[in-house]
Amino acid sequence: MQGTAPIQTQGSAFGRFFTWRRRSYIVAFLFVLPALINFTLFRYYPIVSAARSSLYQYSLLGGYRDFIGFDHYIRMASDPAFWNSLQVTFVYVLVKIPIQVMLALALAIFLSKQSIGSSIVRSAIMAPMVTSIIVVSIIWALMYHSEQGLFQSILNSVGLPKIRFISHEDRALPSLTFMMIWKDVGFSMIILMAGLKGIPRTYYEAATVDGATRWQQFWNVTLPLLRPVLMFVLVTQVAFSFQMFDPVFQMTKGGPLESTNIIVYYIYQQGFLFQDMGYASALSMVTLAILLVISFGQIKLLDTDY
């Protein structure tokens, strides 16, 4: 009996430490561990590395050289190309996001009702979402061609003169914006449709009994209950829009006359074309800070705490 007492003591101590609740936490942690490793290696570490690189004279070929502190950030304040790229980015976001969200909401409301052909329309809207952005950029560049593009053929067929789209400084950014709305509206529509499906029908029935019109139901029932989903769509789409790179790289190279030189493409130019990775890192950190401020402002504006 004396020989078995230590084993019982150890077993009871083990059981007291690894309770059912703690075992559940450990299992849950093991499930999220791969995601944490992924975020650490491919998100957080690059951010820390970029913050460090922004304080040095650094290039991919030459490596780290002199420590220069905040010189890159001071240079940024007097860099007209940076301010132009930031302006182009804000114009792109401020035009694209409202149109895309309103169109997605209208489509979500229309297609949430089962009708003849709604599944076909839904598939046609979502098809661009799953298509590679590079493939989309190549196809739309051919459609926008100033001589033999599809849009030129349509204009000629109705007797209108040819119009330069991506080769004209005043039309290049609106042309890219139109293409990206077509590409991304399906994602926003899916999220908003899911939000609409989650609104109980009893609210609409009560509003109908009270004599509310369709517009009053939309304004006083749908929008307030859709605010959490709407906030998610706005925050994610603004973040994605700030990161647009592939269409500019494939179709315009930032031109003509820097009219489509958005901030991410300008960062690419500085880091990979001009081999000034330190300055590119500083630009990345400022862009990250701008995105954090904008996202925080959107969350506060669409605060879902009733």
Q: What is the pLDDT along the chain (306 residues), one digit of tens a residue?
A: 455 545 455 555 656 666 778 888 888 889 999 999 998 998 899 999 999 999 999 888 888 889 999 999 999 999 999 999 999 999 999 999 999 999 999 999 888 876 766 778 888 888 898 899 999 999 999 999 988 889 998 998 898 888 899 999 999 999 999 999 999 999 999 999 999 998 888 988 898 888 888 889 889 999 999 999 999 999 999 999 999 999 999 999 998 999 999 999 999 999 999 999 999 999 999 999 999 999 999 888 877 554
What pLDDT does residue 281 have? 95
CB 202 within 8 A of CB 278: no
- Give the torsion sign (CA, 115, 119, 121, 125): positive
Instruction: Please name which of 160, 157, 243, 226 lies closest in space to residue 189, comparing C-alpha atoms.
Output: 226
What pLDDT does residue 16 have? 64
CA–CA distance, 32 with 2 (Å, rounded to integer):
44
CA–CA distance, 274 with 270 (Å, rounded to integer):
5
What pLDDT does residue 122 have? 81
Helices (H) and strands (E) in the chain, counts: 15, 2
Residue type, 260: T
Residue 55, Cβ neighbours under 10 Å: how many? 19
| Bond before 98 cis per omega within 30 degrees | no
For residue 103, give Cα distances in angstroms to 11, 99, 189, 279, 285. 63, 6, 8, 38, 32
Tell me if the pTM is above 0.85: yes
For residue 110, give Cα distances in angstroms to 114, 122, 160. 9, 10, 33
CB 235 within 8 A of CB 295: yes
CA–CA distance, 198 with 224 (Å, rounded to integer):
13
β-strands 56-59, 63-67: how paired?
Answer: antiparallel
Sequence-distant (6+) residues with CB within 8 A of 77 are none
End-to-end CA distance of the chain: 64
What pLDDT does residue 61 have? 81
CB 199 within 8 A of CB 276: no
Radius of gyration of the chain (CA): 26
